Amino acid sequence: MPDLSYLFLPYQLRWIQDDARVAIGEKARRIGWTYASSFRAVDRRLRLKTDLYYTSADLTAAREFVEQCESWLPLFKAVAKAREEKDPEDGATTFVMRFKNGAKIVAGSSNPKFFRSKGGDADADEFAFHREGRELYTAMQPASAVWGHQLRVWSTHRGENSFFNQLIREQCRRNAEVRMQNAESKTAESEAAPPAPHSAFVIHHSAFSHHRVTLLDAVQQGLVEKIKRLSAPSETARRDFVEEIRSTCPDEDAWNEEYLCRPSSEQSALLTYALIQGCEVEPEREKIEDRGWRIDKGAAPPTLSSILSPLSSSSALYAGYDVGRKHDRSVLWVLERVGDVLWTRRVDVLADVNYTAQEQHLAAFMQDRAVRRLCIDSTGIGHMLAERLVQRFGHRVEPVHFTGPVKSDLAMPLLRLFQDRLVRIPSDPHVREDLHRIRKVVTPSNNIRLEATRDDGGHADRFWALALAAHAADEKLKPLPPPLARKPIGW
């Protein structure tokens, strides 16, 4: 194959030149993957005289693929005819490009029947968006594998539970097994007697290959320069390009899925973006009542950030406090019940604030007699802080020890509040992402466990503070159970 570096970026060339029997492409949006695949399709038809059966999520994309294939004919100095035809099996519309050597490219619908009774290379574009992914792959595999042809599947992600993501996870597992086998082979050989001069250990190759290219990878390899037709790499153009793309994404989840090859967790999220945004309101900062809740600046650096909303004339406040220190933030969430709706009146986020300063902040807050109840995380590092507040403020403070069942008892009522739109929260991107972090994970025993990812944005600290505040506001609920006290052996 001639030098193609003037036409394609490095990640495109790797895809074109991959000879694996099955290759999976996990990619960002609009980085030229189908463009490279159309070149590969024409090249293989002219060299191997075999057929290609291509499918995309809709017929418009199928037509565009054939048109893209036609655009490569002058480069190859080849002639081919493309036209719309009806599939003889079911009468479905297909777009067929026939070459003089007898090979053809057939682009059709995403119906798995399209690949039945066919033989040749099989390509599936935007595979995650096909309605019947598993059935489609099942039909494609024999069409390509039995007679030694190649199978190509590429797509952006469409959620954690898609069949495409299952294929990716399975491929990663296989690759890990191969690496482990190779490492064991190297270890065994190093422990054996010195090998003969021409000996070599066996590397176990897989029939599968996995390509993963994020937008950041593509930019690093020259995508921006190609789009903007720049003659030399420009770090400024690259940075501005990425920042513009990211700033126009609707949320962090979309950015991760569309551009960073991270499948959306929306399907497993306890609170979806739709539920969260349905309860958001803009804080009215100009009408805030200053109630004197402060951190002593001498006891801690100024690491308190707040979101405030005005109180009603007859306020009764309920609060939740999730305790953090070094790795996680502490969060105080204050609610007021207005009718049957819980309105957020204050969200304080304390980052790397020592326990003395946290206690002072909560004590100043509890001096306000409008505060009816504070539920505080008493797990681990929060135990002493909760104990001291109970000593000072008695029944108005309820320690809550986080266990699996207790987390469920806190989270499920909060979910119902969002479903019934009986809670109002500030419209803030940090709040939105933190509430969205909680995931429902099904254990091997079919129980639901709640988990949260940890990153620079937090560890669902605001979620648990809000859940504790909602629990504090529910006067009908009994206190959550304390941790079990077990007798030492021998008593």
Tell me, what's the pLDDT at 239? 96
Q: Are 473 and 318 in contact (CB under 8 A)?
A: yes
CA distance between the termini of the chain = 80
Instruction: Identify the structural domains of the chain with CATH numbers, from first to last.
Output: 1-188+205-262 (3.40.50.300), 273-473 (3.30.420.240)
β partners of residue 281:
426
Q: Which pLDDT score, from 0 to 100, does residue 7 have?
A: 94
216, two tokens? 């950041």
How many residues are recorded in the chain? 491
pLDDT given at position 1: 59
Tokens of 396: 């108005």
DSSP assignments along 199-214, one per residue: --PPP---SEEEEEE-
Residue 40 neighbours by CB distance under 10 Å: 21
Neighbours of 45 (CB within 10 A): 26
The predicted-structure confidence for 187-226, as pLDDT tens digits, reads as follows 665 555 444 443 333 333 457 899 999 999 999 999 999 9
Contact in structure between 337 and 473 (CB atoms under 8 Å): yes
* Mean per-residue pLDDT over the chain, rounded: 85
Query: For residue 398, what is the enclosing H or E element?
Result: strand 397-400
User: What pLDDT sits at residue 377?
Assistant: 92
Model confidence over 412-451: pLDDT tens digits? 999 999 999 999 999 988 899 899 989 877 665 556 788 8
CB 389 within 8 A of CB 356: no
3-state SS, one letter per residue, for 150-188: CEEEEECCCCCCCHHHHHHHHHHHHHHHHHHHHHHHHHH
Token pair for residue 50?
A: 């075999």
Residue 97 has pLDDT above 70, yes or no: yes
With CA atoms as reference, report the closest residue to 136 among 147, 146, 125: 125
Token pair for 108: 């059709």
The average pLDDT across 163-179 equals 83
Q: How far is CA 285 from CA 72, 150, 289, 314, 429, in A?
A: 59, 61, 9, 19, 17
Band the pLDDT of 269: cuts 50, 70, 90. Answer: confident
Spatial neighbors of 325 by CB under 8 A, at least 6 apart, are: 352, 353, 354, 355, 381
**What would the two tokens of residue 88 be?**
């003889």
More confident residue, 209 or 178: 209
Buried b (16+ CB within 10 A) or exposed e, 414-447: beebbeeeebbbbeeeebbbbbbbbbeeeeeeee
Q: DSSP character for 458?
A: B
Q: Which H or E element spans position 233?
A: none
Structural tokens at position 343: 């309105």
Per-residue pLDDT at 188: 63
- Signed CA dihedral, 219, 223, 228, 234: sign only: positive
pLDDT one-digit tens code per residue, 110-128: 889 899 889 999 999 999 9
Q: Which of 414-428, 454-468, 477-491 has the lowest mean pLDDT?
A: 477-491
Please report the pLDDT score of residue 302 as a whole number: 42
Convert the pLDDT of each residue in 350-376 to its tens digit: 888 888 989 999 999 999 889 999 999
Q: What tokens appear for 432 in the block?
A: 């939105």
| Number of C-beta neighbours around residue 205 at 10 A | 9
DSSP 455: B
Per DSSP, what are the bridge partners of residue 108? 55
For a pLDDT cut of 90, what percent of the chain falls above it?
58
Residues near 355 by beta carbon (within 8 Å), at least 6 away in sequence: 325, 384, 385
Cβ atoms 459, 452 nearer than 8 A: yes
Query: Can you tell me the mean pLDDT for 27-56?
Result: 97
Least Cα distance to 175 among 33, 20, 40 occurs for: 20
d(CA 72, CA 108): 20
Q: What is the pLDDT of residue 265?
A: 72
**Residue percentage of the chain with pLDDT more than 70:** 83
Span of 169-173, 220-224, 475-479 with lowest mean pLDDT? 475-479
Question: What's the CA gap between 13 and 224, in Å, rounded?
Answer: 17
